[in-house]
């Protein structure tokens, strides 16, 4: 019997250094509308930022990321406020990989 692939692990070396990774929950068909809205939203930058944050909390399953002192960051689902501590590059990287998961054919 096949095993459904609902978690995807991606190396995050670009933004967090060697041996870092993020696991993403696979977006479902019902999530497509939110992802499309984010891509087409004409609202303020703040509105787009809030929607992006909601999507990251929803689809970032786990990570092994650290802060500037090398201490593990809490998991995003446990502490959404950690988004405020991430760099804009890290937030952009996460958002890009959520969208890539929605487009993935694997």
Domain boundaries, the chain: 7-101
pLDDT at 4: 73
The first and second tokens of residue 42, run together, are: 């004409």
pLDDT at 80: 93
- Average pLDDT over the chain reads 85
pLDDT at 106: 44
What value does the mean pLDDT take over residues 83-106? 81
- Taking alpha carbons only, the member of 24, 1, 10 closest to residue 102 is 24
Give the global pTM. Answer: 0.80
CB 58 within 8 A of CB 66: no
The first and second tokens of residue 57, run together, are: 């909390």
């Amino acid at each position: 019997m096949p095993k459904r692939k609902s978690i995807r692990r991606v190396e995050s070396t670009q933004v967090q250094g060697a041996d870092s990774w993020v696991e993403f929950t696979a977006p479902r068909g019902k999530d497509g509308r939110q992802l499309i809205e984010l891509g087409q939203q004409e609202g303020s930058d703040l509105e787009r930022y809030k929607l992006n944050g909601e999507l990251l909390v929803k689809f970032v399953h786990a990570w092994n990321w650290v802060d500037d002192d090398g201490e593990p960051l809490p998991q995003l689902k446990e502490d959404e406020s950690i988004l405020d501590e991430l760099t804009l590059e890290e937030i952009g990287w996460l958002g890009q990989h959520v969208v890539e998961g929605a487009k993935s054919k694997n």
